[in-house]
Amino acid sequence: MRLARLAPVLTLLLLPWAAIACGDDDAPPKTAQPQVSASSLATATLSPTPAAGRVGGTMILATTTSTQDSGLLDALVPRFKDATGVDVKVIAVGTGAALEMGAKGDADAVLVHAPTSEKKYVDSGDLIDGKLVMHNDFVVVGPPSDPAKVRGAKDITAVMAAIATTGPFISRGDASGTNTKELELWKVANVDLKTVAGREETGQGMGATLNIADQKAAYTLTDRATYLALKKNLRLEILFEGAPNLLNVYHVYVVNPAKHGGVKETQARAWVAFLVDPATQQLIGDFKKAEFGQSLFFADAGKPETSLGLR
C-alpha cells in the first residue's frame, strides 16, 4: 500500500533510465541549445559540402574556447555531420590543453591558434598534416577612459609598455593561444611580467576573461571574434588593433595514428578536408558577417604560411 504511494516517484526516476539505454550516441538533434547564433548559417547560400562522402562514427576534436564561444563550431559541426555522418565531440579547452590532448592521443584532431607552441608537437611527430584554416586577429581592449593612453599608440611595443606602468591587465593565464600570444607580446616589449601593474590571471576562457576585465575596468588581449560576439554586454572598447604580429592564425592537425593507437584517422582526415574545403571556407569567411558588419574569421586555406608572416 505504501509502495503504491511511492510509485510515482519511482516512475519518475525509472523513466530516464529506460531512455538512456537508447538515447546515447545516436544522431545529435540540432536544436540542442536555446540560442539563436546558428541562424546566420541559414542565410548563407551554399551548395551542400562536397567533403569525403559517408564516413560515419565519432571523433574528438580538441580546440580552443574562442572557436566555441564565437559560435563558429556550432555552425560547422552539424554541416560536417550532414556531409559525412561523423559525430564530432568538440572539447573546448585552452590551446595548451588541446595540444596536450593531441600529444597523448586523447583527441583525433586539434584546431588551435598558437603556431609557436604547435611547432613542438609537430616536431615530436604527435600532430601531422597541419593545414592553415583561417585567421582573425588579436585586439587590445580596455576601459573607455583608457588610463594608459593606449589609443593611438604607435606600435604594440609601446602599448604593452604603457599598460605595464598603469595597469590593470587581466590575463587568461591558461596556456591558451591567446595567453601564449600575450606572453610573447610582453617579451617583445621587453617587459618583465612581475613588473606589470595589476596583472591578474583568470585561468578561464576568453568569454569569462572578457567579463572579468569589463567588471574590473582592466585591459586585456582578446581575439576579435569572441570580443565581437560578447560586445553587447561589454563596456570595453578596442583600443589598439591591426599590428602585423597581432594575427591570430588557426591550424588544424590530425593526431598521428602511427604514434597513438585508437586515433580515428579516417574521421580526423575527413574533418581536416572539410575545414579546408572551399564551401566550408566561404562559410567561415561569412560567419556572422551580416550580424557584426565585419568578418569574425578570414578563410586562409591553401595560402602559403608566409602570407601571414609565419615561418
Partner 1 sequence: MDALWEGFQEAVRLIVRGDAGLREVAWRTIVVSGSATLLAMAAGVPTGYGLARGRFPGRTLVLSAVNTGMGMPPVVVGLIVWLFLVRSGPLGDLELIYTKRAMVVAQFLIAVPLVIGFTAAAVQALPAELPDLLAALGAGRLRTLWLLAREAQLGILAAVMAGFGGVISEVGASMTVGGNIQGDTRVLTTAIVTETSRGENANAMALGIVLLVMAFAVNLLLTAVQQRRRR
Q: Which three cell numbers stand for residue 92?
A: 573546448
Q: Does 71 bind partner 1 (CB under 8 A)?
A: yes
Is position 33 an interface residue for partner 1 (rule: CB under 8 A)? Answer: yes
- For residue 34, state whether it binds partner 1 (rule: CB under 8 A): yes
Task: Write down the residue that cell numbers 500500500 correspond to.
Answer: 1
Which span (25-33, 40-48, 141-149, 285-293) binds partner 1, by CB under 8 A?
A: 25-33
Measured between alpha carbons, how far is 243 from 156 in angstroms, rounded to an integer? 7
Separation of alpha carbons 304 and 249, rounded Å: 12
Single residue of 41, 83, 92, 218 touching partner 1 by CB under 8 A:
92
Could you give the CA distance from residue 164 to residue 70 in angstroms, rounded to a whole number? 29
Selected from 4, 25, 192, 258, the binder of partner 1 by CB under 8 A is: 25
Task: By CB under 8 A, name the one of 39, 46, 50, 104 that touches partner 1.
Answer: 104
Q: Fill in the per-residue mask, 220 to 259: x = in contact with partner 1 (CB under 8 A), - = not in contact.
A: ---------xxxxxx-------------------------
204 lies in the binding site for partner 1 (CB under 8 A): yes
Identify any residues that bridge with 252 across adjacent strands, giving them in sequence order: 111, 131
At its nearest, how many Å lie between partner 1 and the CB of residue 267? 13
Q: Does 28 bind partner 1 (CB under 8 A)?
A: yes
Per CB under 8 A, does 213 bind partner 1?
Answer: no
Strand 127-142 vs strand 237-240: parallel, antiparallel, or unpaired?
antiparallel
- Rg of the chain over all Cα atoms, to the nearest angstrom: 22
Amino acid (one-letter) located at 152? G
Mask: binding to partner 1, 292-311, rule CB under 8 A, as x and -? Answer: --------------------
Query: Taking the C-alpha atoms of 183, 189, 194 and 198 in order, what is their torsion angle to the nearest 10 degrees?
Result: -90
Q: What are phi and psi of 265, to 5 degrees?
A: -60, -45
State yes or no: residue 207 binds partner 1 (CB under 8 A): yes
Exactly one of 35, 47, 145, 306 binds partner 1 (CB under 8 A); which one?
Answer: 35
Contacts 24+ apart (CB under 8 A), 305-311: 305/132, 308/132, 308/135, 308/247, 308/249, 309/244, 309/245, 309/247, 310/115, 310/249
Q: By CB under 8 A, is residue 270 in contact with partner 1? A: no
The residue ranges that bind partner 1 (CB under 8 A) are: 2, 5-6, 8-9, 12-17, 19-20, 23-25, 28-35, 37, 60, 65, 68-69, 71, 74, 77, 87, 89-92, 104-107, 204-208, 210-211, 229-234, 260, 262
